[in-house]
Structure 1
């Protein structure tokens, strides 16, 4: 393309969009630009490749005739053939759509709309914008019609709206590739940042060894934290949430499908205030009465002074689309640094079918969410009962992930939690006592090594720390 040469239209193509008639509104469209884009693609081969890269679907074109021409060009390019006036007419004839498209004269007329492919990408972007507006109008119209139907669930309507908009977002977000030379400087900028931060390039986990292996929770990564019941999954999730939000100031969203907000807050208070277990606070076992309550309140003030960065949502039965909608709203207010979900098996997917297919759609949705937000998403997952049937140490395996192999496929990092103390195992292979410890077994790590990290933990308080650190008031 020649970026300095302006596009020249014929007199009949100076209007970029069709004006609405007096009696109502036509959907947003730019018929002359559609014709100009197709005409440029017929004139220049490189424009055909750009056309298919930027406009991946015929629905971007409003005119059904233009849609048929686009499909003919796409078919020819995919077959490895050159698309020009003659071959496109032949392909339309082969598809049986030549006459309803307007015949050879219509196709020939497209090339008269433009005499070069200058500013071709700009024209494609304008067509994308018009298509985006049509999709929004269609979604709004459908929702308005459905909203009058009393039998439809309002939450389902909102999820459908989010699905429309998410699909549109994917269509518009066509990122151009770049050369290795262009990516050279950013690569070394990131390397310098990693050196300055001593390898901690993501959201800190609060555990030195785990940070050393992962570099922190990385932007765009889906992390699965999986374990059998009573291994401390929720306690670990809250530890990571508190570390990110309260210790390091990252806006963090916790979606709890299992526990209500007040129970989660009670657990975090126990973690913040030494000397009290979650059980003590739940049962109100405080000999000092209300004075002791006031004392605990004072010691837990960090949850109030810094708690605006920690968002908690306890909506039960959350669907993946509802989750994405909620995250999009929070992210628009303050960019999210970390999203945590407790837990996958309690979510609802978008795919109708068996449970394995539904969990697969949830897994893909969580990975897409991480990429959309450019933030790590950490989701808890249950493991199958096969772990309990296994002899020996009952250590989890990747095959124990429940209901879907998609979790293993979509996750960037899979970490199993295991407490030998629970299984009456007194020490690890290296002789380290298992009492008051937890093992983080990194079973999959797309961007790093797999290894094991032993950390100290107090299940009574939900506190985790490096093994070398001692707890106060365990």
Structure 2
């Protein structure tokens, strides 16, 4: 049985919904990525004109062009399709308005298309079951193949053979033999040596108690990525404003403290301007407004598509809103899972900053060092993350190393989960198994390398 299906029936059809969805994309082009993700093929639309418009939108998207009424009109004119979809009808579709719950409407559209296909196939299956000339066992064996064909007609199949992935393995091996990290580095040598860089598609959780240095480490990483590696990055800064992020970046580069830059005292302006020009040109995209999770994901995918960003940071996870989940635990779980999927789908390294709960402060001595269970409102953070880094300041907790080498700049990196590296051992001494020790100059947000290779006893 060959389910070459047509859509010439009137059940499970909502052409008004189709117009609203397409009109929303024309009005707000950033929605196109979600449409293509949730409705992978044009034949999910019932109307031939809507199928045509979907095809035009997806073609423009694939070419990296802007998507608006003018570009779509040009596409239709160039491909001699205006007789099938006149400009006045295109304008009418655009005027349908921008609905709420866009993703939900796309899912409804896809469900309707699937029901249409299944309804028609069900009729064919019913007639075949009543035909005494059709062998029943043969019919059963053909059903799964037929359903797979239906799925293939509606969904994009993106399968790659083992040779593709073996080529990636060999490329990694070649990079390592040439002394190059195969993954994205942080600019912190002791950490990069341990990880070999974070692999594309990884979710990294960076956690600490407030004012321990996680935002400074993030700024250090972003500057290394955009200035040294010359690669694009994006950051959703939900705790700080964009101005604060760039002030920290300027302090990092100029050596003037955050306080000096904020107060404007003792600042050498010519020296400041030496760094402003370079920072103004870095490929960094910043969103510093409160945001719902669906919009965050859509914006991140658009940054990746349009600007080629390979590193994305969310500062911090507990501040991402999602009105679908009133319970904090459920919301954080959804954020964690969604960021993991985002990393896998795009190949970006996604860094989610997280708070630690207060339990670690109730412990005494070196037991105050963070452990997995200290992740705040963790949901599935521990499960979803490929890598988990936690920061700890001995000085802030009234602790000193036995040899007296620690001071207010000593910062411990606890790599408690490393998917492709050797994790640090909770409670171990610095060195092969214990925390990675670096210097941290809080006033300038600099992660220092002086202690990177110096083992310290406790």
Mark yes or no: TM-score above 0.5: yes
1:189 aligns with 2:171: yes
For 2:177 and 2:391, locate their aligned partners in 1 and report how far apart those are by CA, in whole Å: 30
- Deviation of the 1:68 alpha carbon: 4.4
Instruction: Tell me: CA distance 1:109–1:29, structure 2 relative to 1, closer, same or farther (3 Å).
Output: farther
TM-score with structure 1 setting the length: 0.64
Which of 98, 103, 116 is 1:62 aligned to?
116
Question: Alpha-carbon deviations, 1:211-257, whole Å to 9, x = none?
Answer: 01111122111110000011011111111111101111110001100
Partner of 1:445: 418
CA-based RMSD of the aligned residues comes to 3.8
Question: Alpha-carbon deviations, 1:277-307, whole Å to 9, x = none?
Answer: 0011111223x6xxx33431223322023x2
TM-score with structure 2 setting the length: 0.66
For 2:305 and 2:395, locate their aligned partners in 1 and report how far apart those are by CA, in whole Å: 44
Partner of 1:310: 284
Which of 360, 371, 379 is 1:397 aligned to?
371
Say if 2:332 and 2:379, in contact at 8 Å, map to a contact too. no
- Deviation of the 1:183 alpha carbon: 4.6
Question: Alpha-carbon deviations, 1:315-336, whole Å to 9, x = none?
Answer: 12x2221111111111111221
Partner of 1:251: 232
- Deviation of the 1:405 alpha carbon: 4.0
Instruction: Tell me: CA distance 1:67–1:425, structure 2 relative to 1, closer, same or farther (3 Å).
Output: farther
- Deviation of the 1:353 alpha carbon: 4.3
For 2:292 and 2:207, locate their aligned partners in 1 and report how far apart those are by CA, in whole Å: 20
Q: How many residues are matched?
A: 346
Structure 2 gaps, min length 5 = 19-42, 47-109, 137-141, 425-434, 453-458
Partner of 2:191: 210
Instruction: Tell me: CA distance 1:122–1:190, structure 2 relative to 1, closer, same or farther (3 Å).
Output: farther
For 2:295 and 2:313, locate their aligned partners in 1 and report how far apart those are by CA, in whole Å: 14
- Deviation of the 1:107 alpha carbon: 11
For 1:175 and 1:262, locate their aligned partners in 2 and report how far apart those are by CA, in whole Å: 41
For 2:244 and 2:308, locate their aligned partners in 1 and report how far apart those are by CA, in whole Å: 26
Equivalent runs, 1:66-465 vs 2, <5 Å? 66=120, 68=122, 104-105=129-130, 127-128=153-154, 172=156, 174-176=157-159, 178-179=161-162, 183-196=165-178, 198-274=179-255, 276-286=256-266, 292-305=268-281, 307=282, 309-316=283-290, 318-349=291-322, 351-393=324-366, 394-427=368-401, 432-451=405-424, 452-465=435-448
Say if 1:439 and 1:455, in contact at 8 Å, map to a contact too. yes
* Higher mean C-alpha deviation, range 372-381 or range 57-66: 57-66
Say if 1:29 and 1:62, in contact at 8 Å, map to a contact too. no
Instruction: Tell me: CA distance 1:297–1:447, structure 2 relative to 1, closer, same or farther (3 Å).
Output: same
Instruction: Tell me: CA distance 1:437–1:106, structure 2 relative to 1, closer, same or farther (3 Å).
Output: farther
Say if 1:220 and 1:374, in contact at 8 Å, map to a contact too. yes
Deviation beyond 6 Å, 4+ runs, structure 1: 24-27, 106-111, 119-122
Question: Alpha-carbon deviations, 1:175-218, whole Å to 9, x = none?
Answer: 43645x7754542232112222x251111111111001111122
Instruction: Tell me: CA distance 1:200–1:62, structure 2 relative to 1, closer, same or farther (3 Å).
Output: same
Instruction: Tell me: CA distance 1:391–1:192, structure 2 relative to 1, closer, same or farther (3 Å).
Output: same
